[in-house]
Structure 1
Amino acid sequence: MLPLTALLLGLLAVALAWPVPAVLARAGWTRRDPVAALVCWQAVGLAGGLSIIGALLVHGLSPWGGSLPEAWWAWARHWFTGAQPAGPVRGDHWVAQTLAAVLALELLGVLVLALVRTARTRARHRALLELLVDDVSGVDARVLESPVPAAFCIPGARPLLVLSSGMVAELDPAELAAVVAHERAHLAERHHLLLMPFVAWREALPVLPAADRAHDAVRDLVEMRADDVALRAVPGPAGRRTLAKAIVAAAEGGAPQGALAAGGGVLTARVTRLLEPPAELPRWARPAAIGAAITLVAAPTLLLVLPAVV
């Protein structure tokens, strides 16, 4: 049973490493519903990790039993009591076990390191900016003295939303409100946490084209989602043009490492989406996308546990 499970998990891992991310990155519907698309990307990342590690682990442990719990227990008894496996153990089984352990530790370790490194970077930037920014009457953010238009937020336990004085001078009140709403959407919906697994994936597997594709797609989607939330702060027929002008102005200034900026992502795609909004998806489309994401995560999970219950 385990060899078949390893084969199915391996095929799923291959699909999630290249064709599925490629198709999802090019799909036009994702810009019509960034929330559903973000759920799907999280599912691709989680299911991909489970599949590749699970395929290696199951193949490596297959000589020790017919299910993963049984094989794991027999493998542990082998090391502590010298009990022999049920079948012959070849070199590829030891290699698969080693690769599974190395890959799991690398993915988890890179994620932890990325979280720690990013948190430290944000803390340093926040400490420095708090010395430089001021409260300005009528501006719902801290203002940094700089002629270059810039708008960004630094997420964390003590989030900081910063506008440059150049941005305040260049935009009218409606445009400033749109920029602030965009940044507050990043903070309220914890978009940095949605992006972090893909930062770690790209660092852990730099040779995998899907890692870059997934990171860039998720980065663009969180910006589009923040744009959608910001539109609620600038209602009316001119709201989309107001927000588009604001994010174009913000694109010039950039942002510190670890921050989320109003001008981030693919600017042309965001502006086009605002000025020429795509048609909304049918009402059934979001539940269908979320259902597909749940199914995608459930598939490797069921493949890992099914041999133990049948």
Structure 2
Amino acid sequence: MLPATAVALAVLAALLAWPVPALLARAGWPGRDPLVALVCWQAIGLAGGLSIIGALLSHGLAPWAHSLPEAAGAVLAGAPADDPVRGDHWITLTLAAVLASELVGVLLLSWVRTARTRRRHRELLELVVQPAQVPDARLLDHPAPVAFCIPGARPLLVLSSGMVAELDDAQLAAVVAHERAHLREHHHLYLLPFVAWAAALPVLPAAARAHAAVRTLVEMRADDVALRTLDGPTPRRTLAQAIVVAAGGAGGGVPSGALSVTGGAVGARVRRLLDPPSPLPAWARTVALASAGLLLLVPTALLLLPAL
């Protein structure tokens, strides 16, 4: 059973490493519901990791038993293998251990580095910013129109003096609502796995594609959340104008690890605000979420069901 499981998991891993991310990145529907698309991207990343590591383990542990849980239990108990253990079994077991360690290690390292960078930027900014007229925001004396937030245990929302000077009250409120959406929904956690994926597998085109797509979707989601809180007759145009003004500053002064209103594909976001797509139908949302759940269920079932 394990050789067949290994082949099935390897095929699934190959699909999730290139064609599936490519199709999702080129699809038109994610912009209609960024949150559902973000769930799908998270499922692709997690299922892909489970599949490739599971395929290697399934092949490497095949001599010990006919299911992965039984084989793993036999190895941990020091039981002898039922069949001869060849060199390819040891190689795949080594690759599984190395890949799992790299993926988990890079994820933890990325989290630690990002948290340290954000803490350092927050400490430096707190020395130079002053309270802004906007509640819970800080004002930075900087001529470029800049707005960003630094997430974490002590989140910081920063507006530059250039941004305050160039925007009217409605546009400034739109920018602040966008940044507050990032903080409230913890969008930095959506990005972290894909930052680690791109760092761990830089030769894989899907890694960079996934990171770019998730970054844009996070910004689109923040736009949508911000629009719910904005007043005025044309909140979409107001937010789009604010994004264009901020993009004119070329993102100057935005520290690494921060989430900025000019993050993601600015042009696509502005077009989406000015010409909003129709919402994703309920049936389509259900299909997309069910597909994401199925992506996680399939490798889990391939690994565990033979033992039942």
TM-score range, shorter chain: over 0.9
Letter in 1 for 2:56: L
Match of 2:96 in 1: 100
Instruction: Give CA-to-partner distance per residue, 1:169-210, whole Å, 9 cap, x none.
Output: 100010000000000000000000010000000000000000
State how many pairs are aligned.
305
Paired position in structure 2 for 1:248 = 244
After superposition, the CA RMSD in angstroms is 1.1
CA distance in 2: counterparts of 1:250 and 1:279, whole angstroms:
27
Do structure 1's residue 290 and structure 2's residue 289 form an aligned pair?
yes
Q: Distance in 2 between matches of 1:62 and 1:164?
A: 60
Instruction: Summarize the alignment of residues 18-37 of structure 1 with structure 2, pairs less than 5 Å apart.
Output: 18-37=18-37
TM-score by length of 2: 0.97
Aligned-pair identity in percent equals 69
Structure 2: which amino acid aligns with 1:9?
A: L
Match of 2:258 in 1: 259
Structure 2 CA distance for partners of 1:138 and 1:206, relative to 1, 3 Å: closer
One of 181, 185, 191 as aligned partner of 1:185 = 181
Question: What is the CA–CA distance in structure 2 between the aligned matches of 1:6 and 1:31, rounded to whole Å?
Answer: 35
Cα shift at 1:283? 1.8
Instruction: Tell me if structure 2 keeps the 8 A contact 1:9–1:52.
Output: yes
What are the superposed Cα offsets for residues 106-164 of structure 1, whole Å, 9 maximum, x if unpaired?
00000000000000000000000001111133565110001110000000000000000
Secondary structure of the residue aligned to 1:158 is coil
SS in 2 for 1:162: strand
User: CA deviation digits over 1:31-82, x for unaligned, max 9?
Assistant: 000010000000000000000000001110001101112111222344xxxx
CA distance in 2, matches of 1:59, 1:106: 20
CA distance in 2: counterparts of 1:29 and 1:217, whole angstroms: 13
Which aligned runs of 4 or more in structure 1 are off by greater than 4 angstroms? none
Q: Which moved more, 1:154-163 or 1:138-147?
A: 138-147
Segments of 5+ residues of structure 1 without an aligned counterpart are none
Q: Whole-Å Cα distance in 2 between the matches of residues 136 and 195 of structure 1?
A: 28
Letter paired with 1:262: V
Aligned in 2, Cα 1:20/1:69: closer, same or farther, shift over 3 Å?
A: same
- Counterpart in the other structure of 1:10: 10
Give 1:234 deviation, angstroms.
2.4
Residue type of the partner of 2:196?
A
Q: Name the residue aligned to 2:64.
A: 64
Q: CA deviation at 1:103?
A: 0.3
CA–CA distance in structure 1, aligned partners of residues 49 and 225 of structure 2: 31
**1:84 CA drift (Å):** 2.9
1:271 maps to a residue whose letter is: V
- Name the residue aligned to 1:75: 75
Match of 1:228 in 2: 224
Is this contact kept in 2: 1:234–1:242, CA < 8 A? Answer: no
| TM-score, length of structure 1 as denominator length | 0.96
Q: How does 1:104-115 map to 2 (within 5 A)?
A: 104-115=100-111
Q: Gaps spanning 5+ residues in structure 2: where?
A: none
Whether the aligned pair in 2 keeps the contact of 1:178 and 1:234 (CA below 8 Å) is yes
Distance in 1 between residues matched to 2:135 and 2:172, nearest whole Å = 8
Q: In the TM superposition, what are the counterparts of 1:126-137 in structure 2 within 5 Å?
A: 126-137=122-133
Contact 1:149–1:166 (CA<8 Å) still a contact in 2?
A: yes
1-structure distance, mates of 2:46, 2:244:
34
Deviation readout 1:198-240 (Å, 9 max, x if unpaired): 0000000000000001000000000000001111232444211
* Matching residue's letter, 1:279: S
> Is 1:155 the equivalent of 2:155?
no
Letter of the aligned partner of 1:57 in structure 2?
Answer: L
Residue identity matched to 2:269:
R
The offset of 1:248, in angstroms, is 1.5
Alignment partner, residue 219 of structure 1: 215
